[in-house]
Structure 1
Amino acid sequence: MGTAANTLSEIFRTEYGAVFQCNRYNVYWIEFAGGFSSFKFNDFFHLKQTLETIDVKEMAQNPARFADVVVLNPLCSDRCFVLTLTDVLNFRELLQGAKAMMELNSIIYESLHAMAV
């Protein structure tokens, strides 16, 4: 994270990771599974959508050795996520919470802006 560390605002945190917003560079930083990865706005939401499409029921029910692990290669990222079923659920919780906080912040901002006009 380097020099951007002073410009980060925490959006959402769980015991498994955190999502930060960096207005200076217009990116989101995800802390998860022992690493930090930055994503531009659209890439962040693409990652969230990709994560949502993973069939966790199939992962849990399929007895094949490879079925309980999924590999994600997010767009415009040099990081690869190798996720177990538990990791998928924890990562989903993190990104869903972050998205909810972003939406809440947007609603608050719009409400305050409308009151000021």
Structure 2
Amino acid sequence: MNQPEVKLGEKMQISAAMQEIFTTDNGAVYQCDKSNRLLVSFGDSLAELKVETFLRLKKAVDSINLSTMAVNTGRSSDYELITVFGCDKLYVLTLPEIYSFKELLSGAKFILELNSMLHERLYAQLA
């Protein structure tokens, strides 16, 4: 897949040095081994995150009860504000966007865990 050249401030850009972790129609997560950070591209925004911050973001998004949000008729339930310590991005998402964001973050976390397990097994066999 061709990766777009997108700048995030002056710190990071999606390039050949970035490894694509997981992609959906609405976003993608890339990993940079040089900086040990993840780049989360969702909608029109990019966020550069440490792994710990990524996990906090996933936990915050997972804690949103989509069923309760869907049945609540109040205007305040139309959007959810999501931010976590270590992330300079404030996400203002609707119910469908939260569902898509959950899918992206869950898929990326699964692939990261799978890569970690494979790495452990390969190096345990070689030792």
Structure 1 residue ranges (4+ consecutive) displaced by more than 4 angstroms after TM superposition: none
2:46 and 2:13 mapped to 1: Cα distance? 12
Which residue number corresponds to residue 95 of structure 1? Answer: 105
- Structure 1 CA distance, aligned partners of 2:86 and 2:98? 20
Q: Is the 8 A contact 1:70 1:84 kept in 2?
A: yes
- Give 2:71's aligned residue: 61
Gapped runs of 5+ residues in structure 1? none
The two structures have a TM-score, normalised by structure 1, of: 0.93
The match for 2:56 among 34, 41, 46 is: 46
Which one of the candidate residues 95, 108, 112 is aligned to 1:85?
A: 95
1:106 and 2:116 are equivalent in the alignment: yes
Separation in structure 2 between the aligned mates of residue 108 and residue 75 of structure 1, nearest angstrom: 30
Q: Which residue of 1 aligns with 2:14?
A: 5
* Percent of pairs with identical residues: 34
Count of residues in correspondence between the two structures: 117
Q: C-alpha distance in 1, partners of 2:84/2:73? A: 27
One-letter code of the match for 1:46? R
Deviation at 1:25, TM superposition (A): 1.1
In 1, distance between residues paired with 2:115 and 2:92?
31
TM-score by length of 2: 0.86
1:66 alignment partner, SS class: helix
- Structure 2 CA distance for aligned equivalents of residues 89 and 41 of structure 1: 21
Structure 2 counterpart of 1:22, from 27, 32, 38: 32
Q: Following the alignment from structure 1 to structure 2, what is the Cα–Cα distance between the partners of residues 112 and 13? A: 25
CA RMSD of aligned residues (A): 1.3
Corresponding position of 1:34: 44
Give, in whole Å, the separation in 2 of the partners of 1:38 and 1:88.
19
Q: Which runs of 5+ in 2 are unaligned?
A: 1-6
